[in-house]
């Protein structure tokens, strides 16, 4: 099973930049999207259907903001939208699809870069999200949690760790949260298989950052540890340009 995750920074804008062509070429079984920035009736589900994908979407109440979706060539047995906490679910940050015993989540963690209020919101979300997932894994032990975590875990995951030491997304408390989350029974699939530096999934639009590969690795496929024997590959596709992020992939034995 090939699973992709992609923060598209607006699905309608991404489609105009070649997203459908990318989707067809990707040959992914499941695609987790973040930051769709569209209401459910604005998502081009007929275009996705023409390529063989069913669309499961969860949009923010606010138009043109946030939103997650799962595109799948396999029909889901069950789809769950949100984590049951209104202030988060109003922002459309979590959707889960079950395929037999396997559950796949598309998640969009908040950014705290706009100021202290949103950073506080992010830290509270991280705690509540972790509690939710630790309950969920008791019911659905085979978990893939894919998406934009808005956190670089280690210095290797960011182009300039010293200058960004006080930047949202690389704060000590965020990195500590990530370590704790992984220690609760999850695996960062890319870093498990790849120990080389200079692999990123997001680049600022400023200062020619992408051309110079001055990026951040903030997008992840996390899997429950019991799926490790099925992990075949995990990789990043940096030469895809529909967004300021790029797609990431994980492959599991079916």
Q: Could you tell me which of 3, 231, 243 has the C-alpha nearest to residue 106?
A: 3
Say how many C-beta atoms besides its own lie within 10 A of residue 215's C-beta. 24
Would you say 248 and 4 are in contact if contact means Cβ atoms under 8 Å apart?
A: yes
Are 68 and 57 in contact, with CB atoms under 8 Å apart? yes
Distance between alpha carbon 130 and the CA centroid of its chain, in Å?
Answer: 15
* 248 CB-near residues (< 8 Å, 6+ apart): 4, 5, 6, 146, 190, 201, 219, 220, 221, 234, 235, 236, 237
Active-site residue list: 148
Sign of the Cα torsion 110, 191, 243, 18 reads negative
Question: Any residues with CB less than 8 A from the CB of 56 and at least 6 apart, and which?
Answer: 69, 70, 71, 72, 76, 79, 95, 97
Per the structure block, which two tokens stand in for 186?
Answer: 């999850």
Retrieve residue 29's tokens: 């079984």
Q: In sequence order, what are the beta bridge partners of 187? A: 223
DSSP annotation string for 149-174 = -----SGGGBS-TTTTTTSTTS-HHH
């Amino acid at each position: 099973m090939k699973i992709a995750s992609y923060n598209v920074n607006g699905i309608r804008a991404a489609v105009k930049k070649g997203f459908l062509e990318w989707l067809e070429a990707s040959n992914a079984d499941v695609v987790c999207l973040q930051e769709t920035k569209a209401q459910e009736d604005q998502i081009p589900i007929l275009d996705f259907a023409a390529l063989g994908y069913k669309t499961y979407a969860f949009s923010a109440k606010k138009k043109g903001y946030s939103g997650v979706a799962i595109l799948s060539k396999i029909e889901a047995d069950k789809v769950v939208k949100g984590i049951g906490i209104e202030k988060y679910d109003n922002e459309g940050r979590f959707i889960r699809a079950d395929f037999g015993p396997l559950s796949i989540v598309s998640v969009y963690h908040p950014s705290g870069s706009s100021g202290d209020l949103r950073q506080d919101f992010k830290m509270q979300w991280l705690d509540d999200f972790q509690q939710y997932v630790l309950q969920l894994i008791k019911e659905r032990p085979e978990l893939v949690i894919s998406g934009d975590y808005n956190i670089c875990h280690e210095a290797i995951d960011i182009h300039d760790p010293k200058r960004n030491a006080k930047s949202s997304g690389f704060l000590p408390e965020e990195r500590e949260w990530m370590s704790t989350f992984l220690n609760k029974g999850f695996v960062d699939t890319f870093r498990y298989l790849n120990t080389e530096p200079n692999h990123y999934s997001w680049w600022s639009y400023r200062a020619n950052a992408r051309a110079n590969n001055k990026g951040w690795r903030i997008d992840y496929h996390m899997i429950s540890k019991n799926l490790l024997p099925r992990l075949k590959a995990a990789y990043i596709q940096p030469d895809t340009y529909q967004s300021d992020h790029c797609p990431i992939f994980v492959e599991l034995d079916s």
